[in-house]
Amino acid sequence: MESEMSFTLEVIISVLLILGGIFVLVGSIGLIRLQDLYVRLHAPTKATTLGLGGILLASVLYMTH
């Protein structure tokens, strides 16, 4: 017996995954493009933490349903 996910839950999961991927990408680009060591460390820690949080939340929502 398979349980089906609702359409709204699928949209929420998809949006979280896309936004999380965008934040991780921006953090990675910031690591490469910024000039100073401390500025280079600041970009990935802020953006990647938010991006991985979105991906983690999406996976939690997917696995609990």
Q: How far is CA 20 from CA 1, 8, 26, 58, 60, in A?
A: 32, 18, 10, 9, 14
Q: Is the pLDDT of residue 15 over 90?
A: yes
| C-alpha to C-alpha distance for 27 and 40, rounded to whole angstroms | 9
Q: How many residues does the chain have?
A: 65
* Cα–chain center distance at 52: 4
pLDDT at 11 over 90: yes
Per-residue model confidence (pLDDT) at position 37: 83
Over residues 19-55, the pLDDT tens digits come to: 999 999 998 888 888 888 887 888 788 888 999 999 9
Position 1 scores a pLDDT of 43
Single pTM value for the model: 0.85
